[in-house]
Amino acid sequence: MEAVYTALLSVAAFILGAIPFSIIIGRLLLQKDITKYGDGNPGAANVFRAGNIPIGLLAVFFDICKGVLFVALSHTIFSLSAVSVVIIAVSAVLGHAFSPFLRWHGGKAIAVTFGVMLGLLPEYAILLTFIIFMLLALMPLYAPGYPIILLSSILMYVIMTVSWVIFSGPTGYISLASAAFFGAGMYTSAFLGKALPLFVVVGIGGLISSCLAFMAGTLTLRLRGMYFIMFTFGLSQLIKHLILWWEAHVSGTIGRFVIIIDVITVYYVILVLFVMALLIAYLIRRSRLGLALQSIGENEDAAAHRGVNVTVVKVITFALSAFFIGAAGAIMATRWTYIDPSICFNPLYSFMPVLMAIFGGLGQLYGPIIGGVIFAYLEEVLITRFAYYYMLFFGIILVIVILYLPNGFVGLIQKWRKRPLEGQHAST
């Protein structure tokens, strides 16, 4: 019953978040057209922009009361656990944050389902996974334009994070070579985009990245710890400067033009890659290969003594994880008219998957997904408002997570879910 109550309250919290009391207040009391302010939503921020400070403060007060109301209802009346209270609070915040973003094009009806999914997770994981994929597939029908571009960027980071976790999660090898694989895929698209069909280019981009990872892994996966981290980061920088030297001294031009593909096609290709990456990650976790990777992470020497060919397992998995990063780079390159080594091999593409995975948590498959979604959206917001300081925010968050959430967001959820059970055992 707790899951049902959580789901219902999540929907209610989201609806009242998407239709804040401040909208009613703004329309009834402000008595002026504020659609020209900000995003056109008569909420607290645009009431302030319209010049009515008292009404804006009143709107903020009602928003705060709304949050307190739902937390009190969920905790006292329904006696829900702490994790359920957090789910409901997050639903209310998301409803408020996405109300101007989704408008009234049917996107809110889709987004309300998010609260239901959070409330029911993980009891109905298979059903909810199917619902999520269906909503993602139908999203261009409800929210064309900028929402699709934003979702494509979010899915790109999720693919990179899940791919990174396929290898680095169970083994404990921290790879910073994601930028090398992503850039290789982007340059593949620049060279072959006009000569070959899109899906072939994406596949070749993934294969080139896999071959690069295979060669690098064969040479370096005998390294461990800090030495492996330093080499993988140096690999990205080495390829970047090699291409810069080649373009400056041989080809005579820095950068390449890329064939442009419409955003809907890019979205569906990146969605297919997302599904494939999740499926491969899930199958590896439940296979003998996954067990071999876990044994390497726990004690590599013991795994070798038990008959696991640790070098082969690591190299194959490293190359497989690089495929999806390279394929994502190949399709995302078509969103830009022009690319160069500084764009393709940006160190951000090496560090962001690590940050997202650590924040979400490596214990469950949905941990990196949560981390990828949250940080990809944060990057989109912060980079437009704090272009020179947004990486400082990410660094602060990373330090806080490492110090206080060593198991990530997923570990926190699991800890909260265990508390009611521990209380029941203690009372018996």
Domain co-membership, 151 together with 91: no
Domain co-membership, 101 together with 29: yes
Looking at the predicted structure, is the pLDDT value of residue 386 above 90? Answer: no
Domain for residue 424, yes or no?
no
* Residues forming a β-bridge with 256: 339
The pLDDT value recorded for residue 374 is: 82
Is residue 390 very low, low, confident or very high in pLDDT (cuts 50, 70, 90)? confident
| Average pLDDT estimate for 74-98 | 59
Domain co-membership, 130 together with 249: no
| Average pLDDT estimate for 108-129 | 49
Domain for residue 425, yes or no?
no
User: Which DSSP string corresponds to 115-154?
Assistant: HHHHHHTTTTHHHHHHHHHHHHHHHHHHS-SHHHHHHHHH
The pLDDT value recorded for residue 91 is: 63
pTM of the shown model = 0.71
Last residue of a domain, one of 142, 157, 179: 142
Last residue of a domain, one of 111, 126, 142: 142
Domain co-membership, 356 together with 256: yes
The pLDDT value recorded for residue 86 is: 63
Domain for residue 428, yes or no?
no
| Average pLDDT estimate for 157-163 | 93
Domain co-membership, 134 together with 51: yes
**Domain membership of residue 104 as a residue range:** 2-142
- Give the residue carrying structure tokens 């209270």: 85
Domain co-membership, 170 together with 136: no
Domain co-membership, 153 together with 88: no
Domain co-membership, 312 together with 199: yes
Looking at the predicted structure, is the pLDDT value of residue 143 above 80? Answer: no
Domain for residue 409, yes or no?
yes
Looking at the predicted structure, is the pLDDT value of residue 262 above 60? Answer: yes
Domain co-membership, 205 together with 220: yes
* Alpha helix positions (H), 333-407: 341-344, 348-360, 366-385, 390-404
How many structural domains are present in the chain?
2
Considering only 110-124, 165-179, 207-221, which range has the smallest mean pLDDT?
110-124
The pLDDT value recorded for residue 42 is: 45
| Average pLDDT estimate for 364-377 | 82
How far, in Å, CA of 34 to CA of 44, rounded? 11
Last residue of a domain, one of 115, 142, 169: 142
Domain co-membership, 156 together with 134: no
Domain for residue 47, yes or no?
yes
| Average pLDDT estimate for 257-276 | 89
